[in-house]
Amino acid sequence: MKNMRFILVLLSGIIFFTGCLKSNYDNKGEDTSEGQLEKDKKVSYINPLTGELSEKDLSKQKPVVAMVSNIKKALPQMGVSKADMFIEILAEGGITRLMAFFADIEDVVKVGPIRSIRKYYGDIAKGYDPILVHFGGSETGYSSIKNNKLSNIDGMIMASDVFIQDKDLARIKGKEHSYFIDKSGLKKGIDKTNIDISTKGYKGPIFVEEGEVYTPSGDFIGNEIIVEHSRSAISRFVYSPEKKNYLKYQNGEEHIDGIDKSQIMIDNIVVLKTDINILPNQGGRIDLDLSKGEGYFATMGKYQKILWKKGSSEKEISITDLEGNSIPFNKGKTWYNIISKTAKFQVK
């Protein structure tokens, strides 16, 4: 009898212990323990600019858009490898400027050199409801900030309080190539200008579903994409089959981040062709048509022709195939090139 009691107690203990183990799993065999649920919760959000999983709900806060100098004298730029999205457009005199987008303020480690804004940069930025970081601007650039009611941090007003100046660079390259901003200065600027970092919402590109990959159909191989904004501003993207993205080059040299010396890598390349006109008596400054047009989209070593449109400044840039169907971007970083209809675009 004693032996029987012992066996019954032992069996009860085994059943109880087995039940505790099973309680951490659902009927699909997936771990539902508190630690695993918390881990899953941390990556349940999507970065609106990259489509990648995020531990934060970045869709509820304004992205940061930094106006970054892109001329040879300003290189290497700082902090650009952390950006989620780029838009490159001519400024004047054949030089381009970058709009570097950061969905998370914490990724603004030290970015720059920060330069001035033009009207069309503000009109493009508006669609993303950002915090715009710039150092001065043209008259029409400031008008664009005002008309679009853009939250902005201007180095012409807050250089000493918010921006970092590299005095060695100022001496060697010139003052205009020496100002940067980091997340600490950015947060000070936000406080000083009473910026509400919450957003009414912006969408970013349409991305593929988790686990899927989009490859343009047809025989248009795009292992090397060359975009000539001007004779002195040529962006080149070389596809890496191993990394499954594009290595960025600028004017024949690796486009690197001066902080960690890493080469910029891009997953999606967008080329938008439009009318670009030189403004009279404006020192070579330009204006461009942001309504709609044709272009190209490259990813995964292939490319296709596209249609694009924007229209009002409140809208983001959208692209479709030639039949008007939305094109899903692959998850990761995107580089937009906005160029003249007459500019050279080469694919190898």
Q: How confident is the model at residue 263 (pLDDT cuts 50, 70, 90)?
A: very high
Higher pLDDT, 287 or 201: 287
83 and 184 housed in the same domain:
yes
How many Cβ atoms from other residues are within 10 Å of residue 150's Cβ? 21
Residue 29 placed within a domain: no
The gap from C-alpha 154 to its chain's centroid, in whole angstroms, comes to 21
Residue 99 placed within a domain: yes
94 and 160 housed in the same domain:
yes
188 and 249 housed in the same domain:
no
Residue 22 placed within a domain: no
Instruction: Report the number of distinct structural domains present in the chain.
Output: 2
Q: What is d(CA 193, CA 77) in angstroms, rounded to the nearest whole number?
A: 26
> Of 147, 175, 192, at which residue does a domain stop?
192
Rg (alpha carbons) of the chain, rounded to whole number: 25
Three-class DSSP category at 138:
coil
Look-up of token digits 């191989």: 221
The pTM is what? 0.87
Residue 295 belongs to what domain range?
224-347
Residue 248 placed within a domain: yes
pLDDT digits (tens, 9 = 90+) for 80-107: 999 999 999 999 889 999 999 999 999 9
pLDDT digits (tens, 9 = 90+) for 199-243: 988 888 999 999 999 999 877 899 999 999 999 999 999 999 999
172 and 93 housed in the same domain:
yes
How many Cβ atoms from other residues are within 10 Å of residue 316's Cβ? 14
Residues paired with residue 340 on neighbouring β-strands, in sequence order = 274
179 and 253 housed in the same domain:
no
Q: Would you list the DSSP string of 139-205?
A: HHHHHHHHHTT-EEEEHHHHHHHH-EE-HHHHHHT-GGG-EEB-HHHHHHHHHHTT---B-S-----
